Amino acid sequence: MRGALVAALVVLGTPAEAQRAPGLDVRIPDKVDAAVGANVALPIAIAVDRGLVVSKDAPVILDLAPDAGVTIKKRRLGRGDAVDPEADAPRFSAMVRADAPGEHAIKIRLRLWLCGSKVCRPIDVRRQATVAVVP
């Protein structure tokens, strides 16, 4: 009983950004460096476990919410905006413009349907990346 309680507290105490969705991993660098006025790519890759695919019949919605100090031209991306839109697990490259020195967060929310051989289920993942802007 005590072991189960400790395990539950460890899981509950882990930040949501660090938890992996079952069957899926969203890979985003923790920090991207840029100079003021420069454009930098923020890579976002979806990796799925063997036997799973991201549904091609349902939308893939990637929302990006930057702090002041960085600008993103397109805040909502879909499967058509992916580097490889026909892939079973698409990858994205969001262009970020560094406007002001400092560390600026970009909140990322990804929604999609993850499918196995018989069943699909909705996935909603939230992550955060930091853009370190130097003068």
pLDDT tens readout for residues 62-78: 999 999 999 998 999 99
Q: Is the pLDDT of residue 111 over 50?
A: yes
DSSP the chain: -HHHHHHHHHHHHS-GGGPPPTTEEEE--SEEEEETT-EEEEEEEEEE-TT-EE-SSS--EEEEEEPTTEEES-SEEEGGGSSSTTSSS-EEEEEEEE-SSEEEEEEEEEEEEEE-SS-EEEEEEEEEEEEEEE-
What was the pLDDT predicted at 22? 77
* Domains and their CATH numbers in the chain: 17-134 (2.60.40.10)
pTM above 0.85, yes or no: no
